[in-house]
């Protein structure tokens, strides 16, 4: 029997690519299966979908929705996703009538849980592609349980020093590392709704590896917490890098000239920019450390407008960096704006990675065996930083509770001393942390092989999908 799954990714190239990588794994694992991705246009980008996303292939197809830019820019992200439901439903309904395969279910991105309504209306099973880690998934369920069974609202723990147990972690978790949405009275009801939606699915595909998050793996495999089946099918990685080919070649040629494990790489994701004062502190830390460095440096966007206005370039580096810094570090450092992150992490020259702790960045660094120094910014990155530093001991700490988003006041400045300490710890060549990182690297590679844990989880998911066909 030929079967088909519909994937609904969150808007944006990064989510499309990770979803595409998962879809490719699925169709390669079973000849009966085909996948259609319904692509919601980015909310603020002016690029046409057809110029950004891959072309359809055999058993892997894309249905690109049209953008209504005048309307979309007036909405917040949640309202924007809601506004796309009629378009998505029309696309799925058309697929039901025209497909030669049996439609077996809808897989929605973790940020598009409202699309599960479409599955209900069409009497189709709904699944989630969870692009964060299994431990964070456990936190979401636990926060909901605390509220509904113990009447504990974690948004009341803002500015608190309290710690509490999370069943998917081995160490007590500090409230000051909770995501800002969980600490916001305004957004906490949305957090609860999303957790309830996750529980209502037939299953959750998690971009993780059982051996990387053993506590979370045991929690979910033991059937705790009244959750649906959780399939750790990662690492789902996309190794393609867009950008300027000439700049890419220049960066990689520079890295080829550096000694093995000698360069610290600093890069903070698509929203990772800093103001002048914080930039000076980073520069001081780098110069004091004496290490070679590759620094993806971008100027900050307004806190209240981070999503709509991503970071840009500083117009004059000499004006914002310490006097003489560029001349003094010319032989050991390279400052760039855009970074081909995957290609950089793959370079033997990279000895450590100062990162914002986005989940994809964590998986990429572990895949290549690069130790990290954790400096989170927003979303669930504070949780990821705590997990990497304290729970799994796979990262050094810059400041794991740091945050910069529209739900808080202006952040404090992270000092040069904190940054330098994190860099030195991550760059230590014979450390126990580096040995643990290399061990996890090997486990991630084995997990995707035939007989590996992630490969087995993927096959179990397909088996369950077939059994759940209405």
Q: Residue 363 sits in a domain of what CATH number?
A: 3.40.50.2000
Closest CA to 333 of 321, 341, 343: 321
Per residue in 39-50, is it b (16+ CB within 10 Å) or e — as a string? bbbbbeeeeebe
398 lies in some domain: yes
Q: Span 342-348, mean pLDDT?
A: 97
Write out the residue range of the structural domain in which residue 34 sits: 3-150+187-238+450-467
Q: How far, in Å, are 113, 162, 199, 398 from residue 364 at the CA level?
A: 26, 32, 29, 19
- Annotated active-site residue in 30, 31, 46, 109: 109
393 lies in some domain: yes
Query: Quick one: 297 and 362 in the same domain?
Result: yes
83 lies in some domain: yes
**3-state class percentages of the chain: helix first, strand second, coil last, to nearest 5:** 45, 15, 40
Closest CA to 235 of 16, 454, 8, 12: 454
Query: Quick one: 422 and 309 in the same domain?
Result: yes
Residue 373 phi, psi dihedral angles, 5° rounding: -115, 125
167 lies in some domain: no
Residue 317 neighbours by CB distance under 10 Å: 14
Query: Quick one: 328 and 225 in the same domain?
Result: no
The pTM of this model reads 0.93
109 in catalytic set: yes
Contact 422, 354 (CB under 8 A): yes
pLDDT value at 244 more than 90 = no
pLDDT value at residue 300: 78
Q: State the DSSP H helix or E strand holding residue 7, giving kind and residue range, or none if neither.
A: strand 3-8
Contacts of 229 (CB under 8 A, 6+ apart): 202, 203, 204, 220, 464
Count of structural domains, the chain: 2
Q: Span 111-126, mean pLDDT?
A: 94
SS3 3: strand
Query: Quick one: 199 and 285 in the same domain?
Result: no
Between CA 191 and CA 182 the distance in angstroms is 7
Give the pLDDT band (50/70/90) at residue 75: confident
Sign of CA dihedral 215, 178, 380, 251: negative
Closest CA to 206 of 297, 139, 278: 139
Residue 429 phi, psi dihedral angles, 5° rounding: -75, -35
The strand ranges marked E within 215-307 are: 230-232, 263-267, 292-296
Between CA 84 and CA 64 the distance in angstroms is 12
Distance from the Cα of residue 86 to its chain's centroid? 27
pLDDT value at residue 142: 97
SS3 255: helix
Q: Span 410-421, mean pLDDT?
A: 92
Q: Span 343-372, mean pLDDT?
A: 97
DSSP calls for 51-101: HHSPPPBTTEEEEEPPP-HHHHTTS-HHHHHHHTHHHHHHHHHHHHHH-SS
Q: State the DSSP H helix or E strand holding residue 279, giving kind and residue range, or none if neither.
A: helix 276-289
Query: Quick one: 293 and 261 in the same domain?
Result: yes
User: Dihedral of the CA atoms 217, 223, 229, 234 (nearest 10)?
Assistant: 0
Query: Quick one: 361 and 261 in the same domain?
Result: yes
SS3 36: strand
Measure the N-to-C terminal CA separation of the chain; round to a whole number of Å.
14
Query: Quick one: 287 and 374 in the same domain?
Result: yes
Q: How far, in Å, are 52, 303, 402, 417, 462 from residue 377 at the CA level?
A: 27, 11, 6, 19, 36
Between CA 396 and CA 376 the distance in angstroms is 12
- Annotated active-site residue in 15, 142, 291, 356: 15
Query: Quick one: 437 and 454 in the same domain?
Result: no
329 lies in some domain: yes
pLDDT in tens, 256-302: 999 999 999 999 987 788 999 999 999 999 999 999 999 999 987 65
SS3 191: helix
Query: Quick one: 417 and 457 in the same domain?
Result: no
165 in catalytic set: no
Residue 70 phi, psi dihedral angles, 5° rounding: -65, -40
pLDDT value at 204 more than 50 = yes
Query: Quick one: 207 and 334 in the same domain?
Result: no
Closest CA to 270 of 9, 5, 10, 12: 12
SS3 10: coil
What average pLDDT does the structure give for the chain?
91
What percent of the chain is modeled with pLDDT above 70? Answer: 92
Query: Quick one: 54 and 132 in the same domain?
Result: yes
93 lies in some domain: yes
Contact 196, 147 (CB under 8 A): no
DSSP 8-state secondary structure symbol assigned to residue 114: G
Between CA 415 and CA 412 the distance in angstroms is 9
169 lies in some domain: no
182 lies in some domain: no
Runs of H (alpha helix) within 200-244: 214-221
pLDDT value at 51 more than 50 = no
Query: Quick one: 234 and 265 in the same domain?
Result: no
pLDDT value at residue 239: 80
């Amino acid at each position: 029997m030929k079967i088909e799954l519909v994937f609904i990714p969150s808007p944006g190239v990064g989510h499309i690519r990770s979803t595409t990588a998962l879809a490719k794994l699925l169709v390669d694992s079973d000849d009966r299966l085909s996948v259609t991705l319904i692509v919601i246009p980015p909310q603020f980008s002016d690029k046409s979908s057809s110029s950004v996303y891959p072309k359809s292939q055999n058993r892997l197809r894309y249905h690109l929705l049209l953008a209504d830019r005048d309307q979309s820019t007036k909405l917040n992200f949640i309202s924007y996703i809601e506004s796309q439901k009629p378009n998505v439903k029309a696309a799925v309904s058309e697929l039901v009538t025209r497909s030669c395969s049996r439609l077996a279910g809808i897989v929605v991105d973790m940020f598009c849980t409202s699309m599960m309504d479409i599955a209900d209306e069409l009497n189709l099973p709904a699944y989630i592609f969870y692009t964060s880690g299994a431990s964070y998934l456990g936190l979401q369920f636990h926060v909901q349980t605390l509220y509904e069974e113990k009447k504990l609202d974690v948004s009341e723990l803002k500015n608190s020093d309290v710690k509490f147990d999370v069943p998917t972690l081995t160490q007590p978790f500090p409230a000051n590392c909770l995501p800002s949405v969980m600490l916001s009275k305004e957004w906490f009801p949305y957090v609860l709704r999303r957790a309830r939606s996750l529980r209502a699915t037939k299953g959750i595909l998690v971009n993780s590896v059982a051996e990387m998050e053993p506590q979370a793996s045991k929690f979910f495999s033991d059937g705790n917490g009244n959750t649906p089946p959780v399939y750790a099918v990662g690492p789902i990685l996309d190794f393609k890098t867009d950008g300027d080919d000439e700049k890419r070649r220049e960066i990689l040629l520079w890295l080829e000239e550096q000694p093995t494990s000698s360069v610290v790489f600093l890069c903070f994701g698509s929203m990772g920019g800093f103001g002048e004062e914080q930039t000076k502190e980073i520069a001081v830390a780098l110069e004091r450390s004496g290490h070679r460095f590759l620094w993806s440096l971008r100027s900050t966007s307004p806190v209240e407008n981070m999503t709509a206005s991503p970071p840009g370039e500083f117009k004059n580096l000499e004006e914002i960096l310490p006097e003489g810094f560029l001349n003094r570090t010319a032989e050991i450092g390279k400052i760039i704006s855009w970074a081909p992150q995957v290609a950089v992490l793959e370079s033997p020259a990279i000895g450590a990675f100062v990162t914002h702790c986005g989940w994809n960045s964590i998986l990429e660094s572990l895949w290549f065996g690069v130790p990290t120094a954790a400096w989170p910014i927003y979303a669930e990155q504070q949780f990821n930083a705590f997990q990497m530093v304290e729970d799994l001991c796979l990262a050094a700490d810059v400041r794991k509770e740091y945050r910069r988003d529209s739900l808080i006041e202006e952040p404090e400045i992270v000092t040069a001393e904190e940054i330098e300490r994190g860099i030195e710890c991550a760059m230590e060549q014979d450390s126990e942390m580096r040995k643990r990182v290399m061990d996890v690297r090997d486990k991630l590679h084995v997990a995707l092989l035939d007989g590996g844990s992630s490969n087995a989880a993927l096959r179990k998911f397909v088996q369950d999908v077939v059994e759940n066909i209405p």
